[in-house]
Structure 1
Amino acid sequence: MNNNNISIQDRSKLFAVRAIKAYTELNKRHFDDAGKVLAKQFLRASTSIGANLAEGEFAQSKADFISKYSIALKEASETRYWIDIMIRSEIISENKFSSMIDEINIIIRILISTIKKLKDK
């Protein structure tokens, strides 16, 4: 998913699909309650990124658009946090999630850049 020509909306959708597939795989394992909660938090945050970008598409104002993108950025940051926690608690391996870490970092950079440009106008 290193295509630089892909829109942030499509990139976030593709990331959400990957997250859903990862969650499905995680769910096949028998987790304790903590593992289940972490996996659900990861799923919720990772799918919320694109949902907020979709809401931004029909924003009522520039401020509303920036707000939706800012919420998407927060969700992307939270997604990165849950991945890190799952790796550190050995629920997932860093090797299996390294490409997702790379992709969420790209999404975060794009969102930061977009928000900054909009605020500077």
Structure 2
Amino acid sequence: MKQTLKNRTQKYAADCWHLCTKFPVSREYNAYCNQLIRCSSSVGANYRAACRAKSDADFINKLKIVEEEADESMYFLELLLQVTDKEHDEMKRLHKEGNELLVIVVASIKTMRAKKRNS
């Protein structure tokens, strides 16, 4: 079944949240997990906002936020991979998904910019 990008970004946020529930509650883990939960959920929230953009320029600006948040999510997954031996397979899967979302968003930004230049 093909997922829409809205569904896919929402699942990404939920999967990152579920991952974070598997770590101990401590000042150290909480710092990274809280950031991962924020930025991974921001990917989907900002993509939804982009879908309601008022212009091509607004769409591109909102997608740039999605790009930044996806990259930030990958950063916190990388940090967690370095500091713990837990859940490595799931973190690698989520990192791969974050990268795939990033590639899609960057391609969309390039397409929209090219469309603006040609119009």
Q: TM-score range by the shorter chain?
A: 0.7 to 0.9
> How many positions carry a matched residue from both structures?
115
Q: Secondary structure at the match of 2:95?
A: helix
- TM norm structure 1: 0.86
Q: Which residue of 2 aligns with 1:20?
A: 17
> Structure 1 vs Structure 2: percent identity of aligned residues?
24
The answer to whether the 8 A contact 2:39-2:73 is kept is yes
For each residue in 1:17-72, what CA deviation from the matched residue of structure 2 results, as whole angstroms up to 9, or x when unmatched? 1112112222xx232x1221111001000000000011112111110111111100
Q: Which residue of 1 aligns with 2:71?
A: 77
Gaps of 5+ in 2: none
Shift of 1:93: 4.1
Q: CA RMSD in A?
A: 1.5
Q: Which residue of 2 aligns with 1:30?
A: 25
Gaps of 5+ in 1: none
Q: CA distance change for structure 1 residues 106 and 92 in 2, over 3 Å: closer, same or farther?
A: same
Q: How does 1:1-121 map to 2 (within 5 A)?
A: 5-26=2-23, 29-31=24-26, 33-90=27-84, 92-121=86-115
Q: 2:111 corresponds to which letter in structure 1?
A: K
- TM norm structure 2: 0.88
The answer to whether the 8 A contact 2:70-2:102 is kept is yes
Q: CA distance change for structure 1 residues 91 and 63 in 2, over 3 Å: closer, same or farther?
A: farther
State how far apart, in whole Å, the 1-side matches of 2:20 and 2:87 are.
14
The answer to whether the 8 A contact 1:35-1:91 is kept is no
